[in-house]
Structure 1
Amino acid sequence: MKKQRLVMRTVILLVLGAAVAYTLYANFTKDKIQKVAVGEKAPDFVLTDLDGNKHRLSDYEGQGVFLNFWGTWCKPCEKEMPYMNNQYKQFTDEGVQVLAVNVGETDLAVNKFSERYDLSFPIVIDKDSQVQSAYGINPLPATFLIDKDGKVVKYITGEMTEDTIKNYMEQIKP
Structure 2
Amino acid sequence: MKKRRLVIRTIILLILGAAVAYTLYANFTKDDIKKVVVGEQAPDFVLVDLNGEEHRLSDYKGQGVFLNFWGTYCKPCEKEMPYMDNQYKQFKDKGVQTLAVNVGESELSVSKFADRHNLTFPIVIDKDGQVQTAYKIGALPATFMIDKDGKVVKYHTGQLTEEMIKELMEQVQP
Smaller-chain TM-score range? 0.7 to 0.9
8 Å Cα contact 1:145/1:155 also seen in 2: yes
2:111 is aligned to 111
How far apart, CA to CA, are the structure 2 residues paired with 1:166 and 1:124? Answer: 22
Deviation at 1:34, TM superposition (A): 5.3
How far apart, CA to CA, are the structure 2 residues paired with 1:77 and 1:139? Answer: 11
Matched, 1:124 2:116: no
How far apart, CA to CA, are the structure 2 residues paired with 1:33 and 1:126? Answer: 20
How far apart, CA to CA, are the structure 1 residues paired with 2:100 and 2:51? Answer: 14
How far apart, CA to CA, are the structure 1 residues paired with 2:34 and 2:93? Answer: 31
2:165 is aligned to 165
Write out per-residue CA displacement over residues 5-43 of structure 1, whole angstroms, 9 at most, x where no aligned residue: xxxxxxxxxxxxxxxxx9xx98xx97x965210000000
Matched, 1:148 2:148: yes
Runs of 4+ in 1 over 6 A off after TM superposition: none
8 Å Cα contact 1:99/1:124 also seen in 2: yes
Given residue 122 of structure 1, which amino acid in structure 2 is its aligned partner?
P
TM-score scaled by length of structure 1: 0.81
Given residue 75 of structure 1, which amino acid in structure 2 is its aligned partner?
K
How far apart, CA to CA, are the structure 2 residues paired with 1:109 and 1:150? Answer: 30
Task: Specify the SS of the correspondent of 2:139.
Answer: coil
Write out per-residue CA displacement over residues 32-68 of structure 1, whole angstroms, 9 at most, x where no aligned residue: 9652100000000000000110000000000000000
What 5-or-longer segments of structure 1 have no aligned partner?
A: 1-21
How far apart, CA to CA, are the structure 2 residues paired with 1:86 and 1:140? Answer: 20
How far apart, CA to CA, are the structure 2 residues paired with 1:53 and 1:111? Answer: 14
2:135 is aligned to 135
Task: Specify the SS of the correspondent of 1:101.
Answer: strand
RMSD, matched Cα: 1.7
Write out per-residue CA displacement over residues 72-111 of structure 1, whole angstroms, 9 at most, x where no aligned residue: 0000000000000000000011000000000000000000
How far apart, CA to CA, are the structure 1 residues paired with 2:164 and 2:43? Answer: 24
TM-score scaled by length of structure 2: 0.81
How far apart, CA to CA, are the structure 2 residues paired with 1:56 and 1:122? Answer: 12
8 Å Cα contact 1:34/1:135 also seen in 2: no
